Amino acid sequence: MKMKKIWKWVVLIPVALIWCYPLAVAFSESLAINGFGNYGAIFHHPKINYFKILFNSLFVSVVSTAIVVVLASLAAYAFSKFRFRGKKVLYYLLVGCLTLPPAAIMVPLVFFGKTFHLNNTYTSLIIIMAAFHAPYMMVTMKNYFDTIPDAVLEASIIDGASSMQVYRRVILPLGLPAILNVCLLSFIYCWNNYLIPLIFITKTEKYTITLATTYLTDSGNMTMEMQAQLYAYLILAILPSVLLYIFLNRYFQSDMTSGAVK
């Protein structure tokens, strides 16, 4: 048993160092030349309203994540605990959507935005991101909901609970680890998405955190100071995702259903 713990540390420590090394380099580079003044330069950048951009990304990511959680949890509940005709066909069609990259349907997305006048709106980003992420998150939730004992649901139904009451009072509480995991993943995917905002957003006031990097890059004349400010901006850009993970990490427990049948 002691040897197993030793081997875990032998494996995990190098992996942790590999993952942390790029972040350490980025943080070190962000302090080059002007130190923490590079971070102040981001807040006072003439072309970047950092807090407006931060609000844009937070709003789109939070609303899109909320939609994904609702749609994915309801669909996962249906596919996991209900029997209906065409269930397997529909499920595998949705799983097939996971193989479709956004770049493959970029042209239809452009026409979609123009047809429904959704360019330069939060609605376009929220709808498209939710549509892309929901199938994947549904699969994640379904796999977890499959582990919830049917006996718990049957006991609730015998007590007179409806399907939606079972969903609210049994599935959601017992499926909390999967739901929180989906919240984190969906938020990060939305936060880091570059292609979809690039397609739909052209107005500066609607820029997301990823699009704003264009103001900090200049392929023809990148000075050392500009590079340091770019690294500082990237560190600021990843902070919300890191803080969210740290906050939710303690809730990721796989044994919440232990003793449920008892």
The percent of residues in the chain predicted with pLDDT above 90, rounded, is 25
Domains, the chain, ranges and CATH? 33-249 (1.10.3720.10)
- Report the C-alpha gap between 249 and 221 in whole angstroms: 41
Chain segment 177-199, per-residue pLDDT in tens: 889 889 998 999 999 999 899 88
Region of 160 on the Ramachandran plot (φ > 0 left; ψ -120 to 50 alpha; else beta): left
**Both tokens of residue 236?**
């600021």
Per-residue pLDDT, averaged over 159-168, amounts to 88
pTM listed for this prediction: 0.85
Per-residue model confidence as pLDDT tens digits over 34-67: 888 889 988 888 888 889 999 999 999 999 999 9
- The total number of residues written for the chain in this structure: 262
Token look-up 């959680």 returns: 69
